[in-house]
Amino acid sequence: MRFLRSGKVKDIYELDDKHILFHFSDRVSAFDVKFPTPIPRKGEVLCKFTEFWFKKLPTPNHYVRTEAKDKIVVKKMDIIPIECVVRGYFYGSLIQRWNEGKVKIPRGADTQIAEKFPRPIFDPTTKSETHDVPITRDDALERNLASPDEYDWLEKTSLGIYQKMSEIAGKAGFILADLKLEFGKLGNEIILGDSIGPDEYRMWPQESYRVGAIQESYDKQLLRDWLAARGLQKKFEDERKRGLEPIAPELPSDLCNEMSSRYLSSYERITGTRL
């Protein structure tokens, strides 16, 4: 087994010329900053959620087997350098981009925070280890990130996966607000890849959902909200503008434990399986 790289959350190893191993850590990142404080059992939940979704969704994917509570084996594939983001609600960074005139939302959509769109939108970004940048279809084609047929397939398939996952989450009492997916090529086939879990989507309890309010999040948004409320998001952005690399603070234990509890709770409610 050969170590390949350490990402924001996963450590990746090459097993042979056709397979790699994902080791899901307890690390956490937000606003493109890695934090030194681990989230208890986070890696285990992300690993098991990834296994669950890959087995549940009808879209072909690169999952092979689960190796341990926080490790899976997947097929190697050529990653398509597009983060396929689907948004069903007016929330998060989308609000600022809309205010700045940088993104379109469905005609007739309400622009109150957390308002549901008449239909989900495909809102892709570039794929980067540092900072993903929103792109349009024309951008993707001009940069040769995908062919026209590939881009259209990615959009249609991503919207379909979002719909399927929303139905499953809804039966467990959750709202799937948005979702980030990755795809790659295995031969001539495009397949679903990477991982799917609370680091890749926003999920809200139906019982506490209120339009016009910050939502109770069973995902990484809990950390983002904590950072934003203390001015740390702006601090990170200002430091980057000055050419500095932001220094992540230690996170308080109560925040880490609450994130861990919500990750575990969402997994158990959606899958019906205790960890």
Convert the pLDDT of each residue in 186-220 to its tens digit.
Answer: 999 999 999 999 999 999 999 999 999 999 999 99
Convert the pLDDT of each residue in 37-59 to its tens digit.
Answer: 999 999 999 999 999 999 999 99
CA-closest candidate to residue 195, choices 17, 23, 15, 6: 23
How far apart are alpha carbons 42 and 38 in whole angstroms? 8
**The predicted structure's pLDDT at residue 8:** 87
In CATH, what number does 78-221+267-271 get?
Answer: 3.30.470.20
Q: Which helix H or strand E contains 4, and what residues bound it?
A: strand 2-6
Amino acid residing at 48: K
Q: Where are the domains of the chain?
A: 2-75, 78-221+267-271
DSSP-derived 3-state class of residue 76: coil
Bridge-based pairing of strands 189-193 and 33-35 is unpaired
Question: CATH 3.10.20.30: does it fit domain 2-75?
Answer: no
Which residue intervals of the chain are DSSP H helices? Answer: 42-56, 93-99, 137-142, 148-171, 221-229, 232-241, 253-271
Specify which residues 87 forms β-bridges with.
121, 178
Matching residue, tokens 């549940």: 56
Dmax of the chain from CA atoms? 53
**The predicted structure's pLDDT at residue 129:** 59
Flag residues of the chain having pLDDT under 50. none
Specify which residues 176 forms β-bridges with.
203
CA-closest candidate to residue 21, choices 7, 41, 6, 1: 1
Query: DSSP characters for 184-208?
Result: EEETTEEEEES--STTSEEEEEGGG
How far apart are alpha carbons 8 and 179 in whole angstroms? 18
